[in-house]
Amino acid sequence: MKQLWGRNPKSHMSRKKQKTNTMKKVLTFVCVVFVSSFILSSCGGKAEKMKISKLEDACEHVDAMITISEAMLNIVEDNSKYDMSMEDMRKKDYLEYKMMMVQSHAREAEIDYKDMEDCDNWKELEDLEEEIDDARKAANKEDE
């Protein structure tokens, strides 16, 4: 581009305005990255979005506990006890709370433990609980 009268064509903007434009671009970029990472990290949380009040019978409660246990297993396997990020700690605590809520809802709906054991997928829940215990024990050994 041809310079006019020996000056840079962009020199009509003051340095302060150029800095402001650059800061706006940087701030916009940071905001886009932050918002997109927030959206992506919150997507796919089946266990976290579950509506406990919609659970009706024993097997639906078992399905809900399996979903929560699978999410918990993923967190426990990916992290040791002391290396867990704040976000994973928050998710783990929330999943433990959600599990208690499902169990409480089952009691309020007068669903017996025996009814849950009769469900086809009860064995899957037991296996998941065993895997979670094993993963926790392995994580504790890593921390020692």
Determine the average pLDDT of the residues in 123-128.
92
Q: What is the mean pLDDT of the chain?
A: 77
pLDDT score at 31: 63
Residue 112 DSSP SS3: coil
pLDDT in tens, 15-40: 656 666 777 777 776 666 665 554 44
- Quick one: tokens of 32? 């886009």
| pTM of the predicted protein model | 0.64
How large a percentage of the chain has pLDDT more than 90? Answer: 22
| Domain residue extents for the chain | 9-41, 46-143
Residue 144 DSSP SS3: coil
Q: Using alpha carbons only, what angle is made at residue 11 by residues 9 and 12, rounded to the nearest 5 degrees?
A: 90
Contact of 52 with 98, CB cutoff 8 Å? yes
- In angstroms, the CA 45 to CA 123 distance is 23
- Quick one: tokens of 1? 């581009």
